[in-house]
Amino acid sequence: MDISLLWIPATLIAAAAQTARNTMQHRLTETLGTLGAAQVRFLYGLPFAVLFLSMVVAVGGEALPRLHGQFLLFAAAGAVLQIVATVLMLATMQLRNFALSTVYVKTEPLLVAVFAVLVLGDPLTALGACAVVVATGGVIIMSWRPGAGAGGNWRPALLGIASGACFALSAVAFRGSIVSLESGSFVLRASTALVVGLVMQTGALVVWQCLFRRDVLRGVLQAWRTSLPAGFMGAFASQCWYIGFALTSAANVRTLGLVEVLFAQIASRRIFAQHASPRERWGMAWVVAGLVLLLYATRS
């Protein structure tokens, strides 16, 4: 297989691992809250990320790349945005069922395309614009509740889309950090960026919790047995996402990652016994169709 195509299996594996991690985090919110569950992915993922990096260095025999200012700036931006995105995602899952929450968050590839137009001036084709309309229509279909108060209807959708926006920006920032490194194989650069990002995220949350929410930090440390599997799956998923980012654009990776919507639907039914309504399934199909159309537009 052409090395440039390795982003495809890496992304599929990342999506499956991320679904497993989100399932574990969803359960941890019941005891640790959204902030505590978010910390689990970073604090308990860091040791595994360091292990992955050590294995890459040992097998490849390469020296670690030099960490310069531009890399650190991209990594810091991605780290902060991913923390915010994770907290918003977990808050959305508390308001809506697991599969539907995942669909809201998975508006991310759409938002990557929009941000590219607004920030980078990249053109959006007619087919791409059509994809935006189709997927946005799907979100409206899922969110609409005839006869109910607007606040209760739209809060989960807005939180989920805000989470997707932060994930989109963090994906762009993390890819920027990886490609800015001047030496090393794509796996070494991806692994280095992952470790640096997790160090920043873990450090920031530990400091904040020590200052303002020591009870949350104590709870996270006491729940290490149930948190370690979530940390491993989170680090493994991130490792695969970063390998994808090292090989192709963030938009390509995140769009293919929409297969997570299907994985989440399976998890929602089999683990949480949650079922989407016919209207919600119809809206979910619209969102997926719009995002697939967007991927087709980028390859036209």
Q: Report pLDDT digits (tens) over 232-289.
A: 999 999 999 999 999 887 777 877 777 777 676 666 666 555 666 787 778 778 877 8
Residue 260, domain extent: 3-299
Q: Is 248 helix (H, G, I), strand (E, B) or coil?
A: coil
Q: Residues in the chain with pLDDT < 50?
A: 120, 147-151
The first and second tokens of residue 39, run together, are: 């910390």
The pLDDT tens digits for 149-168 are 444 557 777 888 888 889 88
* Angle between helical axes of 7-43 and 259-270 (0-180°, round to 10): 50
| Cβ atoms 106, 164 nearer than 8 A | yes
The 10 Å Cβ neighbour count of residue 160 is: 29
| Cβ atoms 225, 281 nearer than 8 A | no
Residue 194 is predicted with a pLDDT of: 97
Q: Report d(CA 49, CA 14) in Å as an integer.
A: 14
- Structurally, the chain folds into a number of domains equal to 1
Share of the chain above pLDDT 70, in %: 81
Residue 234 is predicted with a pLDDT of: 92
Closest CA to 296 of 131, 145, 73: 131
The first and second tokens of residue 123, run together, are: 């053109």
Residue 204 is predicted with a pLDDT of: 93
The first and second tokens of residue 256, run together, are: 């293919």
| Cβ atoms 101, 160 nearer than 8 A | yes
Residue 185 is predicted with a pLDDT of: 94
Residue 148 is predicted with a pLDDT of: 42
Q: Report d(CA 53, CA 55) in Å as an integer.
A: 5
Residue 141 is predicted with a pLDDT of: 75
Q: Report d(CA 296, CA 42) in Å as an integer.
A: 34
Residue 285 is predicted with a pLDDT of: 82
Alpha-carbon radius of gyration of the chain = 19
